[in-house]
Amino acid sequence: MRSLLRLCPLFVVLGILFGAGPAFAGKRVALVLANSAYQHAPSLANPVNDGAVMAKTLKEAGFDVVESWHDLSALDTRRVLRDFADATRDADIAVVYYAGHGIEVEGSNYLIPVDAKLERDTDVYDEALSLDRVLVAVEPAKQLRLVILDACRDNPFGKQMKRTIASRGIGRGLARIEPTNSNTLIAYSAKAGFTAQDGNGANSPFTIALSKHLTTPGLDVRRAFGFVRDDVLKSTGNKQEPFVYGSLGGEDVPLVPVKVTAVAPASPVANPQADVRRDYELALQVGNRAALEAFVAQHPDGFYANLAKLQIDKIQAEQAHAAAIELAKQAEAERDRLAVLGAQKEALAKAAADAKAAEQVQLAAQRAKEQAQQQAAAAEQQRVDLAAAVPSTPPTGTASPVGTSVASLTPATAPADLNRSVQTELGRVGCFSGQADGNWNASSQRSLSQFNRYAGTKLDVKVASTDALDAVKSRPSRVCPLVCERGFKADGDKCTKIVCREGYVVNDDNECEKQRAAKPAKPATAKRDDGDGRPARQRRQAGGAAAGAAGGYGAAAGIAAAAGAGRAAGGGQVFCNSAGCRPVSRGCHLEYRGGGGPGNDANAEVCR
C-alpha cells in the first residue's frame, strides 16, 4: 500500500503530461501544393515560395505527415490527392494548403494545374480539379478538416477562353462555399468574389500571416484566422480580407497543442500541530467533559487547548442550567403544595420567595449557557476555517504524549456518546429542551424532527447519526422556535416567568386558571352493632315473618315476650312460624332459606 502511495505523485505527473493537453492533439497530417510554372499562362513568382514556407511551418509544429509538392500536372495532382486520402483515414486533423491559380465557373471552384490550357469554358471539367475533390481527400479525418486556398488571383485564361454557352458565368476570384460535412473549415485568402495580392516580397501577405499565427500552441484555429485577417487587412491597406467558411463546435481546436512542462509535486510540509489537532478532534467526537479535560491535561497550552476549555465551559454551563431548571421546578411545586394545603402566609411568602430566587437562578444559568454555546461555536468555526485554509494531514504512527490517552476515554457504548452529542447540539439550536443523557428516546426523535422541519433537512430521526451531528453543528444560531419550561413563556429569545393574578395558578397547558378550594374532610360516623351478623335483608324478612304469624299487636307482644325470654336464655334470636314465636334453643341459630308467607317458613332453626 505504501509503495502505491509513493507512486501516486508519478501518476499525477504522467496524467499532466499525457492528459492535460488541449483537444484534438492526435495524429495530424498535411498536404502542401504550390503551382508557379504554368505552361499555358504567365508564371507566378510567389506560390512555390509560399508552399515552402507553409511546409516548414507545419513540420516545425510537429505534424506527423507533411507532404509538399509543386508544379504538378492534373494527373499527378489527382494521384497525390488519392495517396493523401489514404493518410487521412486514421488522422484526427487533416490540412491541405494550395497556392496557385483558381477560378470559379457556374458557382463551382476549381484549382488549375500547370498543364491546363482551358481553351474553352468546358475544359475546366477535364483539365482542372474541383474543390469538392480536395474535400473528399480530407473527409476521413475525425476531428478537423481544413482546406486553405491562396488562389484568389486574376484568371489568366479568361481573355482567351471561349464560351460554349453565352450564359455560362466565369466569376472573378472564388465563389462562396458552404461545407456539407461538420468540423470542416475552408479558408480563402480573399473574400468570395474578390482577388488576392501576391505582395511585393517573396511571399504573399496571406501566407506570411498564416506562418505567424496558424501554429501558435493552444490557439484555437478560428482565432488564428482572425489574427491572420487583421494582419492581411493591415498590410494591404484594407484591400484584401481573408475569409473562412464552415463551422466548428464549442471547444477550442488548436492545430498545435500546448506543451506542458512536468512539475515535480511539492513534498508535504509537516505540521507540528497535526498530533494536537488529531487529539482535539477525537476528544470533541467523544463529546464528554472527561475527554476534554484529558486533552487539556495532555496539551495545556495553545490554540486547541483554548478551544477545549471553551467546550468544557459550555458543558458546565449546560449542566448548571439543567440543575437550575430542576431546582426551579421543585421550588414551584413546594409553593403550589403549600397553597393547596392553605398554609400560613409566612410559609407561603417564603415558598414564593424561594421560587422567585430559583427562577432568577434558572434565567441566569440559561444566559450563561447560551453565551458559552455561542463562544464555543464561534471558536469551532474559526478552527474549521483555519483547517480549510491550511489543510494538514497528521503523520501516521505518531504517538500522543505520555499520560491519559484521549482514545482510551472512548466508551464501549459509543452510540450513547453520539446520542448525547446530538442532543447537546439540538439544545444549542433550540430544538431540544431535555437533559442530554444519551438516551435517544421519543423526545429526542421529536427534537430532531423539529430540526428537519425548520432547517429544511431530511435526517433520519430514528437514530442519532454523525450526519445529523454535522448538520446541527453547522448551524451557528437558533433554528427551532424558543421552547420554554412549564411556568415560562417565550419572550423574544428568552423565557420569562408566567405571573398569574391572585387566586389563579399555572395549569398543565401553561395557562392561568382559577385555583380550586380544598374540599373539607368528611367526619367519621359510628357504626351500629346489634350483635346480629346476618345481612339487613335477612333481619327485615325474619321480623316481617314473625309479625305476620303472630298477627297484629298481639303477635308483636308475643314476639317481644319471646325476645325477652330468648335474651334470658342467652340466645338473642326468636323463631316464629304458624304455631307462634319462641326463643331459639341454646346452641342453635336461624338460617334464612328464602320465601316466606303463610305456610312457608322463611327461616329455619339449625342446631349443631
Pick the closest to residue 151 from 178, 137, 136, 131 (CA basis). Answer: 131
Contact 584, 605 (CB under 8 A): yes
Per-residue confidence (pLDDT) for residue 540, from 0 to 100: 52
Asked if the structure places residue 254 within a domain, the reply is no
- Cell 507540528, residue located: 272
Could you give the percent of the chain with pLDDT greater than 70? Answer: 75
Looking at the structure, do residues 297 and 423 belong to the same domain, yes or no? no
The residue from 459, 474, 489 where one domain ends is 474
Is 533 contained in some domain? Answer: no
Q: Which helix (H) or strand (E) holds 378?
A: helix 345-389
One domain, residues 205 and 64: yes
For residues 231 and 288, membership in a common domain is answered with no
Residues 308 and 237 in one domain: no
Scanning 41-166, the segments in alpha helix (DSSP H) are: 47-60, 74-87, 124-127, 131-138
Residues 208 and 295 in one domain: no
Q: How far apart are CA 524 and CA 86, in angstroms?
A: 125
Chain centroid offset of residue 62 CA: 47
What is the spatial distance between Cα 472 and Cα 542, in angstroms, rounded to a whole number? 83
Place of cell 425548520: 454
Is the same domain home to 129 and 177? yes
* 288-323 confidence digits (pLDDT tens): 888 888 888 988 888 888 888 888 888 888 888 888
Choosing from 474, 501, 517, the residue where a domain stops is: 474
> 121 near 55, Cβ under 8 Å?
no
Q: Which cell numbers hold the place of 412?
A: 464501549
Could you tell me if 318 and 311 are in contact, meaning their C-beta atoms sit under 8 angstroms apart? no
Does residue 173 sit within a domain? yes
pLDDT of the residue at 571: 55
Per-residue pLDDT, 399: 38
What's the average model confidence in pLDDT over 582-595? 75
* Model confidence, pTM: 0.44
Mean pLDDT for the stretch of residues 530-541: 52
Query: Following DSSP, what letter does each residue of 83-96 receive, concatenated?
Result: HHHHHTTT-SEEEE
Into how many domains does the chain fold?
A: 3
Residues 201, 303: one domain? no
| Digit-coded pLDDT (tens) for 545-570 | 444 444 444 444 444 444 444 444 44
Residue given cell 475546366 in the structure block? 124
Instruction: Say whether both 243 and 291 belong to one domain.
Output: no
Tell me if 102 sits within 8 A of 112, measured CB to CB. yes
Q: What domain range includes position 314?
A: 274-353
Residue 153's domain is classified under what CATH number? 3.40.50.1460
Residues 163 and 50 in one domain: yes
Indicate if 229 and 139 belong to the same structural domain.
yes
Q: Are residues 228 and 281 in the same domain?
A: no
Task: Give 183-213 pLDDT, tens digit per residue.
Answer: 999 999 888 878 877 777 888 899 999 999 9
Pair 287, 214 in one domain: no
Kindly tell me if the per-residue pLDDT of 325 is higher than 80.
yes
Q: Collect all residues with Cβ–Cβ distance below 8 Å to 564 and sequence separation of at least 6.
A: none
C-alpha gyration radius of the chain: 56
- Buried b vs exposed e over 105-138: b needs ≥16 C-beta within 10 Å? beebbbbbbbbbebeebbbbeebbbebebbbebb
Residue at which a domain ends, from 328, 353, 378: 353
Q: Is residue 306 part of a domain?
A: yes
Average predicted confidence (pLDDT) for the chain: 77
- pLDDT at site 169: 60
